[in-house]
Structure 1
Amino acid sequence: MSKVLNNDKFFQLLTLFIILQPILDILTNAMLQFTNSSITIGILIRMLFMGIALFFIFFGSQHPYKKQVSIYLALLLLVLGIGFINNYFQKPVFNLFIEVQWLTKVIYFSVMICSIYLLFQNKKNVDFIKTRLLNYIIYALVIIGVSILIAIITNTSVDSYEWVKAGFKGWFYSANELSALLAIGFPLSILFAIRKTKSWYSFWVWIPALLVALIGALIGTKVGLFAVYITCIFISLFIAIHYIVASIKKTNDRKILLPTFVYSIALLAVILIVSPFTPGYQNLSVELPEPDQEDIDKGFEDVPGQGGNGESSGESEDEIIEGEDTRVTFEINSPIVNKILSSRHIYFTWQLNQMIRADVSQKILGMGYAGNYINNRKTIEMDFFDIFFSFGVIGFILVMLPLFMLIGIVLKKLFTNFKQIFHVENISLIISILLGLGIALIAGHVWVAPAVNLYLALSMVLLYINLKTNE
């Protein structure tokens, strides 16, 4: 069976799949705009590729750790599957299509990161695969950037926001997912430029990074703008440190590091000059209305036994009245935190109270999509909390296992090979990953968004391979 989909064939399919990402997203938006179908070409192609990736993992790969990866995925599918069945009997409202869709989105990331990792089956082809993957990521980012510019110029771009705020998302559907994608991809575009810079004549390799940076600011989200600032400042700083060290040691690297540093500073300067005229910068001063108490209390109507539809929980009236005094609430008095979270802490309290009163099996295996809702079906839009409440303690640990392993090796390298961590290439990947994880925590639409999490999976695998190769 390995001959049907071996390492080389899957690698070719993956590179094609990467470059197809923006095209799939544009077609998905078109289908959502002009048809009533909830099943889009983006969903179909991505689910098809996930099936191909699973086939490669179980039957095509010849990686030394194929057995361990296969056991991990089989265990993940088993645990999440048991939780799915349990929620069919436990949840007050169980929407089969939505639950399956949500489950698939979470599994998608695990399958992608495992299949990409198994591509690196021997050390001889590591650099070739890394270079090709990075090149195709840049091709995809350039397609996104150029398409948005064309949409803006032709006045066919869709606004990022329906009211108050400004921004352009081109022909794409979600501004949040688009800005998260570009935030993760921007450090990779700089990494591409760093690897390609060989002399002062290599300025053209910085054009993709400039394009991605400008598009990130034009979308209008805080995520896109701050990701550009953070990336440029930190990577420029580390390039400067490497240049100073190379100059002191008088190594040949300083001849390449000097133009690299100058171009990174030039990129930062252009962004600082241009950004005040972009929607992303202008939206920072826009104040949105705070939710009133009625909106806050509305969610508690969905917590069985807490002033809502108590009959769905099978509790007596006395137990329901008693439960009204036991709900957990969080008040955040900081305007800055409220602005960052955009009321997500309210939705967190809804699901926390549902989890507190849930059956033991749901505490362990999760409550599925949006928890034990009755009328108000709403996720928190903070990926790690959504995954925890949806799949419980065991499910959360299994879903996050690749991240825990990466954190483990980074911590190990900090104590055993400090210099390796602070190599410019690894710093670029770490920034990409930290931005992705930060956005996943605060704004969501990363770990559970197939259009975005492929880029995060690629960054995580590339960093893991870099740190493990020299062991």
Structure 2
Amino acid sequence: MGKSGTKEDNHLQALTQKLKDNYHIFEKLFIFFILAQPFLDLLSYFSIPVSNPIRLLVIPIGALYMLSYPDRRWSRNTFIYMLVLAVYFAINFGVNMIWKDPVSAAGELTFILKTFFFITALLVYVMIFRHIGENREWKAIVPKYLFINTSVVSVVMLIAELTGTGKRSYDYLEKQGHSGWFFSGNEISAILGMGFCGAIIYYLFIKKGLLAQIICTALIAVMIWAMLTIGTKVAFGAALLVLGMAFLLLLIQAIIKRNNFIQAGVVLVLLAVTVFVSPEMPIGNNLGLSVDMANEKAAQQQEQAEAPPLPEEEGGEVPPPGSVRQWSSWQLMALNGREEFFGTVLYYFERAPVIQKVFGMGIGGNYTGGEPRIIEMDILDWFFGFGYLGTLILVLPLLFVIGSILVFIFKQRFRTVSATALFSGVGACIGLGAAFIAGHILSSPASGFYLALFLGFLYGLVKQKPEKFFQ
């Protein structure tokens, strides 16, 4: 028995050592995985069911990378956190299988695994860029890969436009726009919004020949067109913000170094054309429609001097109370048609047993009949789906990463904030902002991947030694 135990221990030690000797293979695999993203989304659209299984492999492979990580403290702490999170998810699943009726085991498990994917990807990419910080090649490789991905998505949308095969962004007929050959308009909007930040880094600050620069300019124009064609606020806001920042930075660089005047002029033209054509694009129609709809709903509610009381439950059926709550016009604008879902899930949460308030109500809350509907505002979906305890556990890595980035920046007195870091920070902020107001980020592997990547990339950038801003 003793000899058998010794042999098993030796085998385990040998396996652990083999993992530690090959950690760099995991890093190369995860860097290359960036390029696979738009193609996985296309396969999903054409009903080839490989995207989710491939993305979910990030969880076990990411755990192996954590075990093999050279820094023992990081390796131990991240792996322990993953175990705690796995135990919590198991409890959340068990609680909802007992307390929810109806309940879909597949739906609950899918919601859990998609959330687990984002947390794993976040930790993995933070660890990768923390470790390969001395290798300067990654500072050019990541923006290049993001430029390629954003170009692929935009060109596919252009082909869908030319062939009339694009999927509508909204079910509401008066709203315009399409998401090409991709399923979700909100999801692809967030991907383009974040990806455009990486694309602009490659376009402006990575050295290229004249022909390559001309081709890249044409692709940037297609990206902007795609962001206006989706018809969503996230992509539109990202296009204006990124182009405006790019012009200001190039103008400052041109004045100080007396170069890049032509590039600054090109970006100014792109920005001016974007502003000029926006009213005639789907986003122009949808923005006006959103304002009109919000004002109309607010006016209708104002006519009712007192909101009617929420109906009582009858025969175990919970009515959708979101439809009878009163909202101000700015709340209606922020919720953007989600007010009924938010009101309904809030109603479920207020009446849920304590154990569900602590461990969460799962996807869609304690819905009664039909399919579960999420609010599509990720922070709220996390809170109602995973409860007080789950939300606390889930936000810990986000708070740690964001807090560490801010500490690095202030500790170095902003000397580590290069142009690349600045646009990476904007990409991360766009992803986080979309998670608050538009959803389809924290529990969506397709777009959540990019937020995890940007936060990890930014973490690695600001942790480095100070360098020139435009380097």
TM-score, normalized by length of structure 1? 0.82
Rounded to whole Å, the distance in 2 between the matches of 1:415 and 1:50 is 33
Rounded to whole Å, the distance in 1 between the matches of 2:28 and 2:175 is 41
Rounded to whole Å, the distance in 1 between the matches of 2:18 and 2:84 is 26
Gaps of 5+ in 2: 1-14, 302-306, 467-471
Question: Once the 2 structures are TM-superposed, how far is the Cα of residue 362 of structure 1 from its aligned partner?
Answer: 1.6
Rounded to whole Å, the distance in 2 between the matches of 1:151 and 1:44 is 26
Deviations 1:10-55 (A, max 9, x none): 23322442222212211211218xxxxxxx2222221234332233
* Residues 49 and 256 (structure 1), Cα distance of their counterparts in 2 relative to 1, 3 Å cut: farther
What SS does the aligned partner of 2:181 have? Answer: coil
Rounded to whole Å, the distance in 1 between the matches of 2:398 and 2:459 is 10
Bigger mean CA offset, 126-135 vs 202-211:
202-211
1:44 has 2:50 as partner: no
- Please give the root-mean-square deviation of Cα atoms over the aligned residues, in Å: 3.3
1:469 has 2:460 as partner: no
1:146 has 2:141 as partner: no
Rounded to whole Å, the distance in 2 between the matches of 1:214 and 1:467 is 32
1:392 is aligned, of 387, 390, 397, to 387
1:367 has 2:361 as partner: yes
* Residues 352 and 207 (structure 1), Cα distance of their counterparts in 2 relative to 1, 3 Å cut: same
Contact 2:221/2:270, CA 8 A, preserved across alignment:
yes
Query: Could you tell me which residue of structure 1 aligns to residue 274 of structure 2?
Result: 271
**Correspondences of 1:233-272 after superposition (within 5 Å):** 233-241=244-252, 247=256, 254-255=257-258, 258=261, 261-272=264-275
Deviations 1:262-290 (A, max 9, x none): 44323312322343332222322235585
Rounded to whole Å, the distance in 2 between the matches of 1:108 and 1:154 is 34
- The amino acid that maps onto 1:89 is I
- The amino acid that maps onto 1:164 is E
1:423 is aligned, of 415, 418, 422, to 418
1:18 has 2:34 as partner: yes
- The amino acid that maps onto 2:62 is A
Query: Could you tell me which residue of structure 1 aligns to residue 327 of structure 2?
Result: 332
Query: Could you tell me which residue of structure 1 aligns to residue 23 of structure 2?
Result: 7
1:439 has 2:447 as partner: no
Contact 2:59/2:116, CA 8 A, preserved across alignment:
no
* Residues 461 and 330 (structure 1), Cα distance of their counterparts in 2 relative to 1, 3 Å cut: farther
- The amino acid that maps onto 2:344 is W
1:94 has 2:110 as partner: no
Query: Could you tell me which residue of structure 2 aligns to residue 119 of structure 1?
Result: 128
Contact 1:160/1:168, CA 8 A, preserved across alignment:
yes
Contact 1:309/1:374, CA 8 A, preserved across alignment:
no
Query: Could you tell me which residue of structure 1 aligns to residue 350 of structure 2?
Result: 356
1:408 has 2:416 as partner: no
1:228 is aligned, of 239, 244, 250, to 239
- The amino acid that maps onto 2:373 is K
What SS does the aligned partner of 1:188 have? Answer: helix
**Correspondences of 1:247-326 after superposition (within 5 Å):** 247=256, 254-255=257-258, 258=261, 261-286=264-289, 287-288=292-293, 290=297, 306-310=312-316
* Residues 83 and 161 (structure 1), Cα distance of their counterparts in 2 relative to 1, 3 Å cut: closer
Give the ranges of 4+ consecutive aligned residues of structure 1 lying more than 6 Å apart after TM superposition: 198-201, 326-329
Tell me the number of residue pairs that the alignment of Structure 1 and Structure 2 aligns.
435
Rounded to whole Å, the distance in 1 between the matches of 2:283 and 2:66 is 41
Rounded to whole Å, the distance in 2 between the matches of 1:170 and 1:353 is 36
Deviations 1:325-351 (A, max 9, x none): x999852221x5423422323322222
- The amino acid that maps onto 2:185 is A
Rounded to whole Å, the distance in 1 between the matches of 2:225 and 2:443 is 26
Gaps of 5+ in 1: 33-39, 248-253, 313-323
Question: Once the 2 structures are TM-superposed, how far is the Cα of residue 415 of structure 1 from its aligned partner?
Answer: 4.2
Question: Once the 2 structures are TM-superposed, how far is the Cα of residue 189 of structure 1 from its aligned partner?
Answer: 1.0
Deviations 1:410-457 (A, max 9, x none): 443564334337532222112111111111111111111111011111
Contact 2:253/2:260, CA 8 A, preserved across alignment:
yes
What SS does the aligned partner of 2:46 have? Answer: helix
What SS does the aligned partner of 2:463 have? Answer: helix
* Residues 256 and 125 (structure 1), Cα distance of their counterparts in 2 relative to 1, 3 Å cut: farther
Query: Could you tell me which residue of structure 2 aligns to residue 341 of structure 1?
Result: 335
Contact 1:113/1:457, CA 8 A, preserved across alignment:
yes
Question: Once the 2 structures are TM-superposed, how far is the Cα of residue 187 of structure 1 from its aligned partner?
Answer: 1.2
Bigger mean CA offset, 401-410 vs 257-266:
257-266
Rounded to whole Å, the distance in 2 between the matches of 1:135 and 1:308 is 58
Rounded to whole Å, the distance in 1 between the matches of 2:58 and 2:157 is 26
What SS does the aligned partner of 1:420 have? Answer: coil
1:382 has 2:358 as partner: no
Question: Once the 2 structures are TM-superposed, how far is the Cα of residue 130 of structure 1 from its aligned partner?
Answer: 3.4
- The amino acid that maps onto 2:140 is T
Question: Once the 2 structures are TM-superposed, how far is the Cα of residue 215 of structure 1 from its aligned partner?
Answer: 0.8
* Residues 258 and 369 (structure 1), Cα distance of their counterparts in 2 relative to 1, 3 Å cut: same
Aligned identity (percent) is 28
* Residues 67 and 271 (structure 1), Cα distance of their counterparts in 2 relative to 1, 3 Å cut: same
